[in-house]
Structure 1
Amino acid sequence: MADGWTDQKRRTLINFLVYCPKGTVFLKTVDVSDVSKTARLLYQLFREVVLYVGVENIVHMVTDNAANYVAVGRLLMEEFPSIFWSPCTAHCINLILQDIGKLQSVCCVVKHVYGITKYIYNHCYPLYLMRKFTGGKEILRPAPTRFATNFIALQSILAYKDELRAMVTFRKWVSSAYAKDIKGKKFVESVLDSLFWEECAVIVRMSEPLVRVLRLVDGDDRPSMGYLYDAIHHAKEEMMRRFQKRKSRVKPFIDIINNRWDGQFCRSLYATAFWLNPRFQYDANIMDKHMSTISGLLDVLEKYAHGNLPLQSKITGEMKFFRNAEHDFDQASAINNRTLMPPESLWAFSLPAGQNSVEFDAFDMLGQPWRLKISVRNEGKYPKPWISGQWGIYVLQKRLRQGDRVTLTMHDQENGANNYRIIAERKHFGFWYSIDQ
């Protein structure tokens, strides 16, 4: 992986990192401040790294999406046919949000939100009242160069729509000097603008599935590559489902996603990761919808084997074992972990537009339902999910202690609904045992 950045001394640096099963390892930093970062120069730099690590040890290289890095990726794949290159997924999702942010309807709403938040945070008394009405919570402000932040800011302000409107009709506000000056009147007019709130709700409902994908790929807990293919398709399906009767509204959003997905994502690589993810492979309903992924898988395996017929034959045999759940793939531990939900995929829970929580019933091994609640905190660059509801009672009844493992899994049903299960386990002599048994 290559990560370009500029330090406090305005030096242009490129960090090289290696990801392996044991984690991410820092390799080296190169100062390229004194040279023009042409594709040819970067290619020589990357080539040195490839040869140092060893071509046989590299499967995939990731850089940002700039044109010179794209050219480098092509040159590397030409010289080293077994290596895959793709741009940073989080960067690509950010570019999708940037393109969406250029739509006139979105620009107007973001500008409107910026005007409201700028007035609040530039004046002490309005800021005091806002915090009073929101219970001490902050409203995230749009940022001109941080595209995802703008859409998260729309979600933030929409969540406090009623509080803001109550604030500007509050008698102490109405009688204050702020309510009587020109800027204050404009602020009140903006907050009470019904058309703005309607349009804000529409954009939040359309963009929220995509923001959820960004949170998934931008998480540090676990690799999300095996979930991206499904997440992108699920996001598009959800956007179209939300606007079945207003397809013209969602079409520009879908077109932007498709253009980036087709032009910049290495779809075969993500299709392969999807196919090799047990979470999806053993769910017939999901695999039937994405049968075309087998084509991407074969393309990737052929490129990886690169004419090595014995290796290609061995891989094909392993694919059959995996697909048919034979040998080690049919062991109890492998089966139980098929639907294991990564920590960051708590974002997979569909949150209603403008809300920051969702409730559901999860059944334990004894068949007892537990009413759980996934909520999104409103602090930090990217709010993190947390779990509540009957969670505290669950912990007490199961007598959980430090070191125990709790697994929450989600299962798709034929009627399209989701069924959730929760399993608590404790480790004895190197093996995990269910606490319910």
Structure 2
Amino acid sequence: MLITILKKFTKGRDLIRPEMTRFATTYLTLTCLYAMKTSLMSMFNYEEWKTSKFGTSQEGRKVQNVVLDSRFWKNVTICLKVVAPLMVVLRLVDSDAKPAMGFIYEEMDCVKEMIKSNFNNIKKIGGIINFILHATAYYINPQLHYEPNFRNDDVEVKEGLYICMRRLVNDVAERTKINLQLTDFHYGRGTFYLEDAKACRKVMFLGEWWKMFGDRTPELKRFVVRVLSLTCSSSGCERNWSSLEIVIQVLEVI
């Protein structure tokens, strides 16, 4: 009976949309809920609901009070404004098309701006998203580094790079060599200046590109390959966290 009433008001649509990526399920469910807000509110004001065993039960009244509470829908709106841009990055890290590590920072930077825009440029919303490792991967990505819009003078990127280097490379002498070799990469000198290196920037996987053209900067190559080898795929952590936990954490920050 309950399903019959629900289907009547949702025109047969399901509220829960299971997906292959379990992170997205809660977000997609919230999207469906919001899309059917008017229908759901109408259902709980429907006489057939009110007189049903579900509408007169304690649990049914609790659900009814939640759906008819404007604060609930306000929170749903907040969740969707934050999570919708993040879904772009989630799809990136959940794809097997190419290693995503070198592209996360740029995508997340776009996400931060989208979230800030969704909240009328409130700075603290964008400020909750910050990835040192991804800033490093952004800097050493040859597909992006030589582009005109590359953020070479971005303090956040540089700080992320050097903090990551200190964490992954304990030896001071080796870090010094890496810093010297970074200038060759940045200015495209040595093997990085080869026509083949330039031609392969956007057609080779990042780790493979560095292995092929980074031989004259061995310490830098070792550091880069180590960073790019770190996984940012969602598959390894699906059992440990969910999109619902992200939503809760965001709401707590807001």
TM-score (structure 2 length as normaliser): 0.54
Which residue of 2 is the match for residue 139 of structure 1?
A: 16
5+ residue gaps in structure 2?
206-240, 244-254
1:161 match:
37
- C-alpha deviation, 1:240, in angstroms: 1.6
Deviations 1:109-133 (A, max 9, x none): xxxxxxxxxxxxxxxx223433452
1:38-437 map, 5 Å: 125-131=1-7, 133=10, 135-139=12-16, 153-169=29-45, 172-173=48-49, 176-210=52-86, 212-244=88-120, 247=122, 251=124, 253-254=125-126, 257=128, 261=130, 267=132, 269-287=133-151, 290=154, 292-294=156-158, 296-297=160-161, 300=165, 303=169, 307=173, 316-321=183-188, 327-331=195-199, 334=201
Identity, in percent, stands at: 27
Counterpart CA distance in 2 for 1:185 and 1:199 is 20
Query: Which secondary structure does the structure 2 equivalent of 1:226 belong to?
Result: helix
> Contact 2:143–2:201 (CA<8 Å) still a contact in 1?
no
Shift of 1:336: 7.0
Name the CA distance, whole Å, in 2 between partners of 1:128 and 1:134: 10
The AA in structure 1 aligned to 2:173 is G
Choose between structure 1 and 2: higher strand proportion: 1
Q: Distance in 2 between matches of 1:336 and 1:239?
A: 31
Q: Within 2, Cα distance between the matches of 1:225 and 1:192?
A: 43
Distance in 1, Cα, partners of 2:38 & 2:150: 40
Which residue identity is paired with 1:307? A
Partner of 2:188, secondary structure, is helix
Report the alpha carbon displacement of residue 218 of structure 1 after superposing the two structures with TM.
4.7
Compared CA separation, residues 137 and 241, structure 1 to 2 (3 A): same
Give the direction of change, closer, same or farther, for the CA distance of 1:305–1:181 in structure 2 (3 Å limit). Answer: closer
- Would the aligned equivalents of 1:280 and 1:286 in 2 still touch at CA under 8 Å? yes
Aligned equivalent of 1:32: none
Instruction: Number of aligned residue pairs: give it.
Output: 199
**Amino acid across the alignment from 2:43:** M
> C-alpha deviations, 1:53-76, integer Å up to 9, x for none?
xxxxxxxxxxxxxxxxxxxxxxxx
Q: Which secondary structure state, in structure 2, belongs to the residue aligned with residue 272 of structure 1? A: helix
One-letter amino acid of the counterpart of residue 229, structure 1? Y
Task: Please give the alpha-carbon distance, in whole angstroms, between the structure 2 residues aligned to 1:154 and 1:195.
Answer: 15
- Name the CA distance, whole Å, in 2 between partners of 1:138 and 1:325: 55
Contact 1:213-1:231 at 8 Å conserved across structures: yes
Counterpart in 1 of 2:208? none
Alignment correspondent of 2:210 = none
Taking a change above 3 Å as real, the CA distance of residues 328 and 136 of structure 1, as seen in their structure-2 partners, is same
8 Å CA contact 2:143–2:202 kept in 1: the answer is no
- Residues in 1 aligned to 2:180 and 2:71: alpha-carbon distance in whole angstroms: 62
Query: What CA distance in whole angstroms lies between the structure 2 residues aligned with 1:304 and 1:319?
Result: 23
User: How big is the shift at 1:278?
Assistant: 4.2
Q: Deviations over 1:315-372 (max 9, x none)?
A: 64344328x87522443x645789xxxxxxxxxxxxxxxxxxxxxxxxxxxxxxxxxx
Compute the displacement of 1:287 (Å). 1.9
Q: Are residues 127 and 155 of structure 1, via their aligned partners in 2, closer, same or farther at CA, if it must alter by over 3 Å?
A: same
Q: 1:318 to 1:194 in 2, by over 3 A?
A: closer
**Helix, strand or coil for the counterpart of 1:307?**
helix
8 Å CA contact 2:104–2:134 kept in 1: the answer is yes
Cα separation, 2, equivalents of 1:210 and 1:139: 20
Q: Tell me how far apart the structure 2 counterparts of residues 279 and 198 of structure 1 sit (CA, whole Å).
A: 41
Q: For structure 1, list consecutive stretches of 5 or more residues without a partner in the other structure.
A: 1-124, 339-380, 384-437
* Structure-1-length-normalised TM-score: 0.35
Distance 1:242 1:283, change over 3 A: farther
Shift of 1:238: 2.0
Task: Give 1:112's aligned residue.
Answer: none
Q: Which has the higher contact order (CA 8 A, sep 6+)?
A: 2
